[in-house]
Amino acid sequence: MFAFTYHRPDTLTQAVALLQTREEAKPLAGGQTLIATLKQRLAAPSDLVDLAALPDLRAISREDGRLVIGAMARHAEVEASPLVRACLPALAALAGLIGDPAVRNRGTLGGSIANNDPSADYPAACLALDATIITDRREIAAADFFTGLFETALEPDEIVIRVAFPLGGEGAYEKFRNPASRYAMAGVFIWRGEVAPGEALTGEILVRVAVTGAGQGGVFRWRDAETALAGAFCPAALEGLVPPADEMIEDIHGSGAYRAHLAGAMARRAVARLMVAGA
Amino acid sequence: MELTGAQRIEAPREAVWQALNDPDILRQCIPGCQELVQASATAFTARVTLKIGPVKASFSGAVTLSDLVPPHRYRITGEGQGGVAGFAKGGADVWLESEEDGATLLNYSAQAMVGGKIAQLGARLIDSTSRKLAGEFFSAFAEIVAPPPIPAPALPSEAAS
């Protein structure tokens, strides 16, 4: 590890000020990616701004038809939260599938989405559930937040404080884990709901399909699958449908075609799970 | 890994060729390039900082042009050391074709190799990252050589005269 200056601010204002004034400061959430990177000397920030002492960033609450989760909530807390299990069981289940127990007890929701690793699980839930990412200065729709491989709409000094998930409808997440490291080789989050009352096409069935782990640009909405499922919501509607193989990640763990196949298979499993849950 | 592709550039082949040989333009197009100094007609030294997620590594190395057939094709190769992070080397065969309407088709066939720690940790991402970097290079290049509003900057025309 290279030397750095450690800060543990008590207020959001102090944290943002540190990020703005220090030469090359990085915010530290759960550290499950960043600390490993520092230990390998693959990054050398001048300052680390630990967000652990900031107040109210771990709370999970229900407000105005939304489930609001603090950015510093640990994966294990989301998994075990009675409120998340009751309102959005698929999200609690997803949190329980992330990494291993050590990662789940330290890793955070905010850290996961701010890093936007192409194999991270949470970005798929944010996209499929149409979440809103709330930062220290603005609100960003999930559709605008994830902008590419490890890239987000966040400014370098911007801090995610909460994520709001709209309630209503049902979701399911299916993931094919890398056998050694348990990250998603392909993970598919499917949400099915109705257009809210008062809007155009009220009562119409809506489907959103988000794929993580497979795409070269990170998480993406799989529109072809959404169209197919809007026509007939059953696994057979997706038979033979896969995302474009040349846009999938290709590495020693699997070819693009293999990952495209996995995405199709995980999508069909998620649909089957939703049909059982809905029956 | 292998990477092939083509990019249409709205400029005549001569202008594209000049730009491909202009260190100032290359510096602006190579993602993360902070310095590109010409050592001879075909050799450059470069300093490149790459930031991919939490990883940030600075590479210093050499860029060489070879197999030059102006204004048709050349090979560009680069090799850099990133200290503890490891090393990266890569090359691309680039060839130009004139389109009927006066634009130019820039074809490339590139190979990239990464070694050391950065390769162990980032194995699953090297392919995607290389594609992304190649994409950034060629879109920046197209933008500089054939910008929508104003024509190419002063330097390449100087080199052409």
Q: Which CATH architecture has domain A1-49?
A: 2-Layer Sandwich (3.30)
Closest residue to A43, CB basis, from B54, B129, B132: B54
Task: Give the DSSP H or E segment for A185.
Answer: strand A184-194
- Among A59-63, A197-201, B8-12, the minimum mean pLDDT is found in A197-201
pLDDT at B157: 45
pLDDT average, residue stretch B86-110: 91
Residue contact B121–A40, C-beta within 8 A? yes
The CATH 3.30.43.10 portion of chain A extends over 1-49
The segment with the largest mean pLDDT, out of A237-246, B24-33, B132-141, is A237-246
pLDDT average, residue stretch A48-75: 96
Interface with B, mutate which of A41, A113, A150 (most B CBs under 10 A): A150
Cβ–Cβ contact A39 with B under 8 A: no
Name every chain B residue with its beta carbon within 8 A of the beta carbon of A251.
123-127
pTM check: above 0.90:
no
The CATH 3.30.390.50 portion of chain A extends over 170-278
Name every chain B residue with its beta carbon within 8 A of the beta carbon of A150.
52-53
How far apart are the C-alpha atoms of A28 and A47, rounded to whole Å? 10
Task: Give the DSSP H or E segment for A78.
Answer: helix A75-80
pLDDT at B1: 67
- The model's confidence at residue A109, banded by pLDDT at 50, 70 and 90, is very high
Phi-psi label, residue A271: left if phi above 0, alpha if psi -120 to 50, beta otherwise: alpha
For helices B13-20 and B126-145, what crossing angle results, to 10°?
Answer: 120
Instruction: Give B61's strand partners.
Output: B46, B80
ipTM of the complex: 0.72
**A263 CA: distance to closest CA in chain B (Å):** 17
Q: Which CATH architecture has domain A170-278?
A: 2-Layer Sandwich (3.30)
Name every chain B residue with its beta carbon within 8 A of the beta carbon of A42.
54-57, 84-85, 117-118, 121
**A17 CA: distance to closest CA in chain B (Å):** 21
pLDDT at B160: 43
- Of the CA atoms within 13 Å of residue A142, those in its CB half-sphere come to 24
Cβ–Cβ contact A115 with B under 8 A: yes
Cβ–Cβ contact A244 with B under 8 A: no
How far apart are the C-alpha atoms of A135 and A54, rounded to whole Å? 13
pLDDT average, residue stretch A141-148: 97
Name every chain B residue with its beta carbon within 8 A of the beta carbon of A252.
123-124
Which A residues, 79 through 108, put their C-beta within 8 Å of a C-beta on chain B? none
Cβ–Cβ contact B127 with A under 8 A: yes
Cβ–Cβ contact A251 with B under 8 A: yes
Q: Which long-range contacts (CB under 8 A, 24 or more apart) does B145-153 make?
A: B145/B9, B145/B11, B145/B15, B145/B16, B145/B19, B145/B25, B146/B9, B146/B10, B146/B11, B146/B103, B152/B11, B152/B15, B152/B19, B153/B25
How far apart are the C-alpha atoms of A250 and A252, rounded to whole Å? 7
pLDDT average, residue stretch A207-233: 96
Give the model confidence (pLDDT) of A154-185 as tens digits. 999 999 999 999 999 999 999 999 998 899 99
pLDDT average, residue stretch B15-34: 92
pLDDT average, residue stretch B10-36: 93
How far apart are the C-alpha atoms of A96 and A84, rounded to whole Å? 12
- Contact (Cβ atoms closer than 8 angstroms) between residue B122 and residue A206: no
Quickly tell me which residue has 């809210």 as its tokens: A196
pLDDT average, residue stretch B144-155: 66
pLDDT average, residue stretch A42-71: 95
Closest residue to B57, CB basis, from A26, A42, A249: A42
How many beta-carbon contacts under 8 Å exist across A and B? Answer: 64
Determine if the peptide bond prior to B71 is cis (ω within 30°).
yes
pLDDT average, residue stretch A29-46: 91
